[in-house]
Amino acid sequence: MAERALYLWNNDHIENLIRQNSKAILPIIFPALEKNGRNHWNQVVQSLTVNVRKIFADTDPELFEECLRQFQEKEAKAEEFKTKQEATWKRLEEIAATKAASSEAVLVPHAIPTLTSSS
């Protein structure tokens, strides 16, 4: 499905529409383009994705760079959140393990950040 959709982007008429509306289109599809270009299992999809990215990069380099910067910031924040979440779970497991031998209830100190916290 992704391959067929990306083939549409090679159509001259579609490409002209992309160029005319890149400011509206690129911020919406940029994350999917980045993920497809990096991680898609199908080499043809990766190649077609690179072609679509090139159309946008050539059409409006400043907009493309801004979208890339925003994507990288969101990725870094997501990675930071994941790291904090893993540390929280590890700490909870350690607390539970120390209390497991006794019949004492496991109380979690307030110092541990909540799992839904994004800070």
Domain-located, residue 116: no
CA distance 99 to 76: 35
Domain-located, residue 114: no
The proportion of the chain whose per-residue pLDDT surpasses 70, expressed as a percent, equals 83
Helix (H), strand (E), coil (C) string for 65-92: HHHHHHHHHHHHHHHHHHHHHHHHHHHH
Q: What is the pTM of this model?
A: 0.66
The 8-class DSSP code of residue 41 comes to: S
End-to-end CA separation in angstroms for the chain: 37
Domain-located, residue 109: no
Domain-located, residue 41: yes
40-96 pLDDT per residue, tens: 888 888 888 998 899 899 989 999 999 999 999 999 999 999 999 999 999 988 888
Domain containing 34 equals 2-100
Domain count, the chain: 1
Phi, psi of 67 (to 5 degrees): -65, -40
User: Over the range 68-87, which residues count as b (16 or more CB within 10 Å of their CB) and which as e?
Assistant: eeebeeeeeeeeeeeeeeee
